[in-house]
């Protein structure tokens, strides 16, 4: 993009934290994870991702703006009704918490802000909502997937029971998040929290988890596997690179 550098880091230098995180991801994910690793490591060269990384350091209202209308739309209202908070989810054995799904919404809001710097307007929320529905229905094929019928409360009751522990799926998701945190730190120069990571890393990881769980549910499986995680990661990293104007109407 004119007016600024394409990348904030030298392409010839490999950050040791990035190299270590990549090695851990590939050790678990194998050859199939190389494309994901490359996609994550390329994100800092994208100006919108730089904006997302910087903006996410600030309080949420500074980049999200007014979003009450978004959370009053059918899918978000059904999610609120069909998912529990973290404490109740832990007690009941649910694997998808309400705040995790809402972090998925925040990730898509931040994606839109990164590309447009818009904080107001109903068209912005229309675009965010449509992108969320496409991602849930199509995973990495979201650009070719029209928004489906609105999910009901029963959908979220089923989604919250999808398991995370099969096929080393969740550990691979965590390792991808660690790689994302390492490349994000090259932009923000902020030290990563050893457990939580950054806000942006959490948003992206949670989004990939939600998309993976939705994919497993469509396939009528009881737990995500590594292919679901790879699909979720491909979907969210592709979204981060895709301008809202390029989304199908």
Burial label for 80, CB within 10 Å (0-12, 13-18, 19+), is: middle
Cα separation, 178 vs 40, in Å, equals: 10
Cα separation, 127 vs 6, in Å, equals: 26
Nearest to 208 by CA among 72, 197, 123: 197
Tens of pLDDT, residues 169-181: 999 999 999 999 9
Count other C-beta atoms under 10 Å from residue 132's C-beta: 27
For range 34-52, the mean pLDDT: 96
Cα separation, 249 vs 237, in Å, equals: 20
For range 221-249, the mean pLDDT: 96
Cα separation, 78 vs 214, in Å, equals: 15
For range 3-20, the mean pLDDT: 63
Q: What is the pLDDT of residue 139?
A: 97
Both tokens of 147, joined, read 């928004």
Both tokens of 72, joined, read 């009053």
Domain ranges of the chain: 16-246
Half-sphere exposure of 221 (CA within 13 A, CB side): 17
- Confidence band for 243, pLDDT divided at 50, 70 and 90: very high
| β-bridge partners, 17 | none
- Confidence band for 2, pLDDT divided at 50, 70 and 90: very low
Asked whether the predicted pLDDT for residue 249 surpasses 90, the reply is no
Mean pLDDT score across all residues of the chain? 92
Q: What is the distance between the terminal CA atoms of the chain, rounded to a whole angstrom? A: 24
Asked whether the predicted pLDDT for residue 51 surpasses 90, the reply is yes
**What percentage of the chain has pLDDT greater than the value 90?**
86
Asked whether the predicted pLDDT for residue 29 surpasses 80, the reply is yes
For range 198-221, the mean pLDDT: 96
Q: What is the pLDDT of residue 151?
A: 95
For range 152-160, the mean pLDDT: 98
Both tokens of 168, joined, read 């080393």
Q: Give every CB contact of residue 203 below 8 A, 6+ residues apart in sequence.
A: 56, 103, 104, 106, 107, 110
């Amino acid at each position: 993009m004119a007016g600024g550098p394409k990348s904030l880091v030298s392409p010839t230098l490999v950050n040791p934290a990035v190299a270590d995180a990549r090695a851990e991801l590939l050790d678990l994910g194998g050859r199939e994870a190389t494309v994901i690793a490359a996609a994550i490591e390329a994100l800092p060269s994208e100006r919108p991702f730089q904006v997302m990384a910087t903006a996410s350091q600030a309080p949420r209202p500074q980049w999200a703006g007014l979003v009450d209308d978004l959370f009053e739309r059918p899918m978000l209202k059904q999610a609120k009704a069909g998912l529990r908070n973290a404490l109740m989810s832990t007690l009941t054995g649910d694997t998808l918490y309400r705040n995790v799904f809402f972090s998925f919404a925040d990730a898509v809001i931040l994606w839109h802000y990164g590309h447009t710097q818009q904080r107001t307007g109903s068209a912005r929320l229309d675009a965010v909502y449509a992108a969320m529905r496409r991602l849930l229905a199509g995973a990495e094929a979201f650009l070719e997937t029209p928004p489906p019928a609105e999910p009901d409360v029963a959908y979220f009751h089923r989604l919250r029971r999808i398991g995370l522990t099969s096929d080393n799926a969740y550990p691979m998701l965590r390792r991808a998040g660690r790689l994302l945190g390492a490349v994000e730190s090259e932009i923000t120069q902020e030290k990563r929290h050893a457990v939580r990571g950054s806000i942006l890393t959490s948003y992206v990881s949670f989004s990939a988890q939600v998309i993976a769980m939705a994919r497993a549910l469509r396939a009528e499986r009881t737990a995500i596997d590594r292919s679901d995680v790879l699909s979720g990661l491909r979907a969210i990293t592709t979204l981060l690179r895709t301008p809202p104007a390029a989304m199908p109407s």
